[in-house]
C-alpha cells in the first residue's frame, strides 16, 4: 500500500450527483462503496466534506446575510453532509466517528487531535465536520490543516475533474492534464488546485496533494495502491 493514512476531501457539490440540490442517495452509496474498498485494504481514512450543495458563506453575502453568519451556516451545512455520509458508511458496515469544529454535543464529538488519531488507529473512519470552526475558511483549508494534524500521508482531493489541467477542461478543449506538478509551478501558473490558504499549508508542510476523479469506480483504491491517477502535486 502506498499510503497508510489518507485524508479524503469530498466537495459538497459532488454529493448532489444528478440532482439539482441536496444529497443524492445514489452518489452517497457509490462513495460508501469506494471508501469500503480502501478500508478493507487496511488504510486509515479521515474525511473532510464540504457544504457547497447546501450553503456557502460568500453566496450568503450576496443575498444580504452577514458574511460571518453565512460562514457559520456553511459550516452547519457541512455537518449535514457529514452526518449523511456517516450514516451511509455505517450502513455499509464501517465504524465511524464524526468530529466537529463547532461543539454540537448531542450529535458528534468535538475535534481533539489525539482522539482523532486514536480513532484512526482503531480502524474507525473519522469524518471532520463543520470545517475548522472559524469563518473565512473553507473545507479545502480544513482538509489541509487536519491532514497535517493527524499526520496523513497525503490529501486526496476527489473532484469531478480527473486532475489539474493547463486550463479549465470544461471550458477549453485544448487543455491538457498534468500527471505530476510541483507546488511552485502550480503557484507560478496560477492553476486552480485548492484555495491559497489550503495550498500554502500543504506546501509549507510538504504534504502531497492528489487531485482525482472520485466519481469513477475504483479510482480511490487504485490511488492508495500507488497507481498514477489524477495529478500529484509535490515539492
Ligand atoms: N466554512 C467556514 N469555515 C470553515 C469551513 C467552511 O466558514 O472552516 C463555510 C464557508 O462559508 C464555506 C462553507 O462553509 O463556503 C461550505 O464549505 P465549502 O465551500 O468549502 O464547501 P465545498 O466547496 O467543498 O462544497
Q: Parse the chain into domains and list their residue ranges.
A: 5-234
What residues line ligand 1, using a CB cutoff of 6 Å?
Answer: 11-13, 50-52, 56-58, 70-71, 74-75, 77-78, 131-132, 134-135, 137-140, 142
Mean pLDDT across 224-228: 96
Split at pLDDT 50, 70, 90, the class of 148 is very high
CA torsion sign for 21, 27, 28, 34 is negative
Mean pLDDT across 92-96: 98
Mean pLDDT across 149-158: 98
From 33-47, 160-174, 197-211, the region with the lowest mean pLDDT: 160-174
Give the pLDDT score at 21.
86
- Distance from residue 41's CA to the centre of ligand 1 (Å): 31
Mean pLDDT across 128-150: 98
Comparing 156 with 56, the larger pLDDT belongs to 156
Q: What angle do CA 125, 127, 130 make, to 5 degrees?
A: 170
Per-chain mean pLDDT for the chain:
96
Question: Residue 152 above 90 pLDDT?
Answer: yes
Comparing 132 with 61, the larger pLDDT belongs to 132
User: DSSP letters along 135-153, please?
Assistant: TT--HHHHHHHHHHHTT-S
What is the DSSP-derived secondary structure letter of residue 165? B
Question: Residue 42 above 90 pLDDT?
Answer: yes
- Distance from residue 179's CA to the centre of ligand 1 (Å): 28
Domain 5-234 fold is Carbamate kinase (3.40.1160)
pLDDT above 90 coverage of the chain, percent: 90
Tens of pLDDT, residues 171-209: 899 999 999 999 999 999 999 899 999 999 999 999 999
Give the pLDDT score at 144.
98
For residue 216, give every residue at least 6 positions away whose Cβ sits within 8 Å of its Cβ, in sequence order, or none.
162
Split at pLDDT 50, 70, 90, the class of 92 is very high
Amino acid at each position: 500500500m502506498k499510503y497508510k493514512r489518507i485524508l479524503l476531501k469530498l466537495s459538497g457539490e459532488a454529493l448532489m450527483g444528478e440532482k439539482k440540490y441536496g444529497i443524492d442517495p445514489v452518489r452517497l452509496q457509490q462513495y460508501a462503496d469506494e471508501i469500503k474498498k480502501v478500508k478493507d485494504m487496511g488504510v486509515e481514512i479521515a474525511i473532510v466534506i464540504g457544504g457547497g450543495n447546501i450553503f456557502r458563506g460568500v453566496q450568503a453575502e450576496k443575498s444580504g446575510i452577514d458574511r460571518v453568519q453565512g460562514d457559520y451556516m456553511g459550516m452547519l451545512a457541512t455537518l449535514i453532509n457529514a452526518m449523511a455520509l456517516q450514516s451511509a458508511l455505517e450502513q455499509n458496515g464501517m465504524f465511524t466517528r464524526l468530529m466537529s469544529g463547532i461543539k454540537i454535543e448531542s450529535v458528534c464529538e468535538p475535534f481533539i487531535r489525539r482522539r482523532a488519531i486514536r480513532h484512526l488507529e482503531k480502524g474507525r473512519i473519522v469524518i471532520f465536520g463543520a470545517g475548522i470552526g472559524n469563518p473565512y475558511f473553507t473545507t479545502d483549508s480544513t482538509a489541509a490543516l487536519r491532514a497535517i494534524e493527524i499526520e496523513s500521508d497525503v490529501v486526496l482531493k476527489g473532484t469531478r475533474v480527473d486532475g489539474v489541467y493547463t486550463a479549465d477542461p470544461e471550458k477549453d478543449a485544448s487543455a491538457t492534464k498534468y500527471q505530476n506538478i510541483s507546488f511552485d509551478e502550480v503557484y507560478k501558473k496560477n492553476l486552480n488546485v485548492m484555495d491559497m490558504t489550503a495550498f500554502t499549508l500543504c506546501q509549507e508542510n510538504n504534504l502531497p496533494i492528489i487531485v482525482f476523479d472520485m466519481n469513477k469506480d475504483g479510482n480511490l483504491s487504485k490511488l492508495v495502491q500507488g497507481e498514477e491517477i489524477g495529478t500529484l502535486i509535490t515539492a
